[in-house]
């Protein structure tokens, strides 16, 4: 029997309170949860980003480069693509984007790299967030990496000469002074934290207002057809909207708060996190690549399709596993006599 998901009694002010009081209660509660979520992600972001910046400066981060270079050939990219790919996976999405602009990749190669790093990036931080929010961190990281590889392989069939080698400019391999590295890290991290705070707190305040006035069920109803196409439960519509449009990091306060609220089944959360892991931040990321001359089609459609395919494949695997484990079903898939 399907589990119902009523709004918890503590999620909003009583309906008998005056509208202004309910509005104030919702905003105050949302701001508190937003600040709490911001502090939680900041505790992860600060040490992880500093450690990665130092590894980047020492060059130790790129000890994996010889391993990744042959892999680039398997996904029809030149060996030089290993540098921005490795940077996106372990360090910063934006640093990888900057490398893509400096290294003289061809237009088809830029398209494939854009597709890859919009699906697979910042595994340490985003993997930690999703792990806390209801799915195995290693599992979602592996899924994102495999899906990114498969997607670019398929896209390469429709593009010309994607594996042609390129010449690395000297500026990419030059090591900056440690004080310049630390200054750049501090400035970029401060900007990121400020941006996170300005997004997370209003988003959480809006969510609490929606709970207070019973708007979450309306959102679920509006998004029900789309959720069906995506293979998701309508109950997770609000979380899906936040993660898909704002991204996993900026939407982390809402994603973690809601995912750990007990209102959703483990299956609903796993399907949600598969969809979000493969397809999130659909406003900022495409806009960034559009400014670099990469069309919206390439940064929106491939990962959207990959997300839908992955969720439905997961559901199919769950059904098959359930049928195989069902009592009275033999290895050949037929019911034993007398058990039907």
pLDDT tens per residue across span 220-265? 788 889 999 999 999 899 899 889 988 898 888 889 988 988 999 9
Residue 229 is assigned to a structural domain of this protein: yes
Residue 336 has pLDDT above 80, yes or no: no
Q: Domain count of the chain?
A: 1
Residue 330 is assigned to a structural domain of this protein: no
Residue 8 is assigned to a structural domain of this protein: no
Residue 17 CB partners (closer than 8 Å, separation 6+): 25
Residue 41 has pLDDT above 90, yes or no: no
pLDDT at 283: 85
Q: Where are the alpha helices (DSSP H) in the chain?
A: 19-58, 65-74, 82-90, 93-102, 107-119, 123-132, 137-156, 170-173, 178-212, 216-230, 237-246, 252-259, 266-278, 284-291, 296-325
Residue 27 has pLDDT above 60, yes or no: yes
Question: Which range of residues forms the domain containing residue 321?
Answer: 13-325
Residue 107 is assigned to a structural domain of this protein: yes
Residue 1 is assigned to a structural domain of this protein: no
Report the chain's mean pLDDT, rounded to a whole number.
84
- Per-residue model confidence as pLDDT tens digits over 84-126: 898 899 877 888 888 888 888 999 999 999 999 999 999 999 9
- Cβ(216)–Cβ(26) below 8 Å: no
Single pTM value for the model: 0.79
Residue 3 is assigned to a structural domain of this protein: no
Residue 340 is assigned to a structural domain of this protein: no
pLDDT at 96: 87
- Per-residue model confidence as pLDDT tens digits over 48-93: 878 877 877 777 766 666 777 788 999 999 988 988 898 899 877 8
């Amino acid at each position: 029997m399907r589990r119902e998901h009523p709004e918890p009694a503590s999620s909003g002010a009583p309906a008998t309170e005056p509208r202004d009081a309910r509005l104030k209660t919702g905003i105050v509660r949302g701001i508190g949860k937003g600040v709490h979520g911001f502090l939680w992600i900041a505790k992860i972001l600060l040490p992880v980003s500093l450690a990665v910046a130092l590894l980047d400066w020492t060059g130790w981060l790129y000890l994996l480069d010889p391993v990744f270079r042959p892999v680039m050939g398997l996904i029809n990219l030149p060996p030089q693509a290993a540098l921005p790919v490795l940077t996106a996976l372990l360090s910063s999405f934006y640093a990888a984007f900057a490398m893509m602009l400096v290294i003289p990749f061809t237009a088809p190669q830029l398209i494939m790299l854009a597709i890859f790093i919009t699906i697979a990036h910042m595994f340490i931080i985003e993997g930690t967030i999703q792990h806390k929010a209801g799915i195995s961190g290693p599992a979602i990281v592996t899924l994102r990496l495999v899906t990114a590889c498969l997607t670019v392989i398929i896209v390469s069939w429709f593009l010309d000469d994607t594996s042609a080698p390129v010449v690395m400019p000297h500026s990419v391999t030059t090591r900056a002074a440690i004080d310049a590295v630390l200054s750049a890290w501090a400035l970029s991290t401060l900007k990121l934290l400020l941006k996170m705070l300005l997004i997370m707190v209003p988003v959480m305040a809006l969510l609490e207002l929606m709970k207070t006035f019973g708007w979450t069920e309306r959102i679920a109803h509006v998004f029900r057809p789309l959720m069906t196409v995506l293979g998701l439960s309508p109950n997770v519509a609000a979380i899906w909207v936040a993660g898909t449009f704002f991204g996993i990091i900026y939407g982390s306060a809402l994603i973690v708060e809601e995912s750990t609220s007990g209102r959703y089944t483990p299956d609903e959360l796993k399907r949600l996190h598969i969809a979000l892991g493969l397809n999130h931040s659909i406003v900022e990321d495409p806009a960034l690549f559009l400014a670099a001359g990469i069309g919206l089609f390439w940064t929106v459609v491939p990962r959207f399709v990959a997300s839908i395919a992955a969720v439905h494949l997961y559901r199919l695997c769950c059904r098959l596993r359930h049928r195989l484990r069902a009592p009275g079903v033999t290895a050949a898939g037929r019911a034993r006599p007398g058990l039907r």
